[in-house]
Structure 1
């Protein structure tokens, strides 16, 4: 099937069918992650150009996801974390493409912390149309389609309503910010909120904001595949995410990203505090 026909076919699909295929791929990959978790001698860990970790399991998970989705949508290309950067950059900016993070939370995976997931998004141009996160350790699936709400294991979810900084529960990963911003986060945010965490998977951290477990998260040094699915899930749950200047990047984007993701109510207060 030619790409034009494939794209036309997508428009005729029920949203539940797109989600069903993404979930099927994500579940298979998540099972692979769980089956390999704990056998660290077989991980074949290496360090990528951006100093992040990668394992044999990252590549196998990605290959599994891509193989499944190619069988369903053979002409839709991929932007994927472990794919060659030139191939990623070659995706047509006005067409459909999948965005894949085969193992979000690799560092947690490597050191034995059971907090990681698979992430799959379908985008068209700058817009994410569908997103799926599968967490194999807690048997949780976070899903959303554009305009259809956000769900955890099939149950609709929504963000918190907290607005006062003294009440907030935030996830904060700020160690790679410059010293001035690092100190502002410490003084203006961390010393004032109720509690902060660093959980170890950006996708799940944003999903936890969407599900009302956290009020927000501040993260730096991210990539598009960290936020493509999770960002849609958050927005469909009533939340908001932006770069630190309050803008949204135009997908597809291949530069590193620093983001704030919140329940929406506290968003601009946190941006100002930064």
Structure 2
């Protein structure tokens, strides 16, 4: 496998994400054509599909040998397999429910993983003009300003993000509600913005101290993972950690 030029990959991705951001910024104000996927609250719009197609098309042209995992492609039946090959992991609109309601916490998330490790991460909220970026070993940034996690270690002083998710399976809903009920008395504050990628980006920004959740997909976290790591934070699987 040829050496991957991280800077070139980052530059191409950044340009494409900026273009895709224009689509999201204009569409969020308009009436949407909404479809459902796994549940009545697991939504997809024509903008999700258009943005993913735009990103994959542009990246394929620049990097014909790279692989792709896209949320809407997987939803349409494509396999979700991460190999050692350079793989772009894309969530065209993370926070589709927010997007549908014109709630401005929505973003485009693009991560490049090579040999199963995060190399490039971009999370862009085009409504609030927040561009979070990271290249492995070079730090994490918001609109060019270097980021650092809060460093807060006292859970009682921590502002924590969590999420209800898009499943309405009663057992899962009960589990999520139990987790939140157990967390609430132990933390300083609790917030939910409806976007895993934005949650992780805000942890990197130190706007919150932690994000805790179950059931996120790889496209929700592929870019945010690198943002948090490059900002000095940690990302763990609580089940593995507990073991």
Are the aligned partners of 2:35 and 2:44 in contact in 1 as well (CA < 8 Å)?
Answer: yes
Report which structure shows greater RCO (CA 8 Å, sep ≥6).
2
Structure 1 181/153 Cα, relative in aligned 2: closer, same or farther at 3 Å? Answer: closer
Equivalent residue in structure 1 for 2:35, among 34, 46, 67: 46
| 1:26 Cα deviation from its structure 2 partner | 0.9
The residue number in structure 1 matching 2:98 is 108
| 1:166 Cα deviation from its structure 2 partner | 2.1
Q: Does 1:73 pair with 2:63?
A: yes
Can you give the 5+ residue segments of structure 2 that lack an aligned partner in the other structure? Answer: none
| 1:25 Cα deviation from its structure 2 partner | 1.1
Distance in 2 separating the partners of 1:181 and 1:103: 23
| 1:27 Cα deviation from its structure 2 partner | 0.8
Q: Does 1:34 pair with 2:29?
A: no
TM-score normalized by structure 2? 0.89
Distance in 1 separating the partners of 2:239 and 2:210: 16
The residue number in structure 2 matching 1:168 is 158
For residues 143-195 of structure 1, the C-alpha deviation after alignment (integer angstroms, 9 at most, x for no partner) is 111122111111110100222222111112257646466335423x2123221
Are the aligned partners of 1:80 and 1:88 in contact in 2 as well (CA < 8 Å)?
Answer: no
Q: Does 1:183 pair with 2:187?
A: no
Q: Does 1:240 pair with 2:230?
A: no
Structure 1 227/65 Cα, relative in aligned 2: closer, same or farther at 3 Å? Answer: same
* SS of equivalent to 1:220: coil
Are the aligned partners of 1:96 and 1:125 in contact in 2 as well (CA < 8 Å)?
Answer: yes
Distance in 1 separating the partners of 2:189 and 2:114: 38
Q: Does 1:140 pair with 2:135?
A: no
Name the count of aligned residue pairs: 236
* SS of equivalent to 2:38: coil
Structure 1 35/162 Cα, relative in aligned 2: closer, same or farther at 3 Å? Answer: same
The residue number in structure 1 matching 2:54 is 64
Structure 1 28/244 Cα, relative in aligned 2: closer, same or farther at 3 Å? Answer: same
Q: Which runs of 4+ in 1 moved over 2 A?
A: 84-89, 174-185
* SS of equivalent to 2:79: helix
| 1:19 Cα deviation from its structure 2 partner | 1.2
Structure 1 84/198 Cα, relative in aligned 2: closer, same or farther at 3 Å? Answer: closer
For residues 237-272 of structure 1, the C-alpha deviation after alignment (integer angstroms, 9 at most, x for no partner) is 11112222145xxxxxxxxxxxxxxxxxxxxxxx79
Can you give the 5+ residue segments of structure 1 that lack an aligned partner in the other structure? Answer: 1-6, 248-270
Are the aligned partners of 1:172 and 1:217 in contact in 2 as well (CA < 8 Å)?
Answer: yes
TM-score normalized by structure 1? 0.79
Are the aligned partners of 1:100 and 1:120 in contact in 2 as well (CA < 8 Å)?
Answer: yes
Distance in 2 separating the partners of 1:130 and 1:221: 23
Task: Give the aligned CA root-mean-square deviation in angstroms.
Answer: 2.1
Q: Does 1:19 pair with 2:10?
A: yes
The residue number in structure 2 matching 1:204 is 198
Distance in 2 separating the partners of 1:72 and 1:99: 16
